[in-house]
């Protein structure tokens, strides 16, 4: 989203009009998100293969996770997606204080998610559930349950990393909002950040049942 040289403030010189510029921004963001789908997709494929190879170990290991904490975090993340939508809505109406407020509500919810994640990781650390030489499962040294936890930490870790980056982007946008960056029409940065934030929510919608709930009914 580069500044143009004179003329229409928000319109970069290589675009015909704001609508074409917006279309290009949206398409570019989606091209990035497609690579993200396949980035996480590789981990989901590994999950499918190992879960079908060791179904019992996966179900038992899954029962070590806390579905209440996972469920609360799912609701928190969905809530943050909702406040992100409100930030995008405010950006379309160019109300900078509303943009600022909803961005920060989203950042606070995202941070709460990461705080719960920290509590969960700490619990796994204390119970020797980190894959490696000190791994213990129900008093026994590591079996196939390690595979579940290796995938658990890779998938939720990569997801949490995306949230940290997302929160950083939202903080940056909240500063730009106060500086009046989104006061004129044709500024799409908040909406593009929203696409990224919702994508991260989308990944968690699949991670929650696949990691936390798969062995519950046994």
Partner 1 sequence: MSASHDAAHADHGGAGLKLYFAVFAALLVGTWLTVWVAGHDFGVWNTPIALAIACTKAALVLLYFMHVRWSSRVVWMAAAIGFVFLAILLAFTVSDYATREWLEIYSAPLKGR
Residue 164 beta carbon to partner 1: minimum distance, rounded to whole angstroms: 20
Residue 12 beta carbon to partner 1: minimum distance, rounded to whole angstroms: 19
Residue 148 beta carbon to partner 1: minimum distance, rounded to whole angstroms: 13
Name the DSSP class of 213. Answer: S
CA distance linking residue 172 with residue 177, whole number of Å:
9
Residues 8-27 that bind partner 1 (CB under 8 A): 22-23, 26-27
Q: Which of 12, 44, 63, 108 binds partner 1 (CB under 8 A)?
A: 44
The Cα angle at residue 57 between residues 52 and 59, in degrees rounded to 5: 80
Kindly tell me the sign of the dihedral angle through the C-alpha atoms of 11, 12, 15, 21: negative
Are 120 and 190 spatial neighbours (Cβ–Cβ below 8 Å)? no
Residues 155, 160, 165, 167: what is their CA dihedral angle, to the nearest 10 degrees?
Answer: 150
The residues with which 136 forms a beta bridge, in sequence order, are 141
Are 100 and 178 spatial neighbours (Cβ–Cβ below 8 Å)? yes
Shorter beta-carbon distance to partner 1: residue 177 or 211: 211
Residues 54-113 that bind partner 1 (CB under 8 A): 54-57, 67, 71, 74-75, 78-79, 81-82, 84-86, 88-89, 92
Q: Which residues make up the interface to partner 1 (CB under 8 A)? A: 22-23, 26-27, 30-31, 33-34, 37-38, 41-42, 44-45, 48-50, 52-57, 67, 71, 74-75, 78-79, 81-82, 84-86, 88-89, 92, 143-144, 191, 194-195, 198-199, 201-202, 205-206, 208-210, 213-214, 216-218
């Amino acid at each position: 989203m580069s500044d143009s040289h004179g003329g229409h403030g928000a319109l970069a010189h290589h675009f015909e009009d704001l609508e074409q510029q917006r279309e290009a921004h949206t398409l570019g963001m989606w091209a990035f998100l497609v690579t993200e789908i396949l980035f996480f997709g590789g981990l989901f494929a590994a999950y499918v293969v190992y879960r079908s190879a060791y179904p019992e170990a996966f179900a038992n290991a899954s029962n070590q996770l806390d579905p209440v904490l996972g469920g609360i975090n799912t609701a928190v993340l969905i809530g943050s997606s909702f406040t992100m939508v409100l930030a995008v809505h405010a950006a379309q109406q160019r109300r900078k204080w509303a943009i600022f407020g909803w961005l920060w509500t989203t950042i606070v919810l995202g941070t709460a998610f990461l705080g719960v994640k920290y509590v969960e990781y700490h619990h796994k650390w204390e119970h020797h559930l980190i894959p490696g030489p000190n791994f213990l499962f129900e008093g026994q040294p590591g079996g196939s349950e390690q595979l579940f936890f290796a995938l658990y930490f890779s998938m939720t870790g990569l997801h949490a990393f995306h949230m940290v980056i997302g929160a950083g982007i939202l903080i940056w946008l909240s500063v730009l909002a106060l500086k009046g960056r989104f006061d004129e029409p044709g500024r799409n940065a908040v909406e593009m950040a929203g696409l990224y934030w919702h994508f991260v929510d989308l990944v968690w919608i699949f991670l929650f049942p696949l990691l936390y709930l798969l062995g519950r009914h046994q």
